Amino acid sequence: MLTITIAIIVTILDQLVKWLVQTEMDLGETIPIIPHIFHLTYIHNPGAAFGILPHQEWFFLAIVVILFAAYFFMRKKIPQKPIYFPASVAMLLGGALGNAIDRVRYGSVVDFFDFRIWPIFNVADIFICVGVALIVFYFWRHN
């Protein structure tokens, strides 16, 4: 139950921040937070990370369905300790669901964190990356 609760919180947080960006900014608008280093830039990304595979909404939605099916099929086998492992699975699921909601609503993902030397990303992307990194760390530590 912890995993689903965290996944829901991640999804809500992601969607709330995206809603704030969409209501307070115009598409394409950039707000410098630290000029030339970190900006908020509101864009729609039709692809995955780094804009790869643009306009493949059904492919990305299928991946999310597979992730959730795998979770529900394997949920009783997910180690509950250390606590970061079920939390990492939740971060991955919540981030994937947050971006899937965007794909269904807009046919693209709302992105806004802009470090100028890296592709623009969002809250869901952060949770996906942290979740995957923690899962990899778990398996690295536990063979």
Catalytic (active-site) positions: 111, 125
Neighbours of 9 (CB within 10 A): 14
Measured CA angle at 15 (ends 10, 20), to 5 deg: 130
Q: What angle do CA 55, 24, 90 make, to 5 degrees?
A: 55
CA distance 75 to 112: 33
Alpha-carbon radius of gyration of the chain: 16
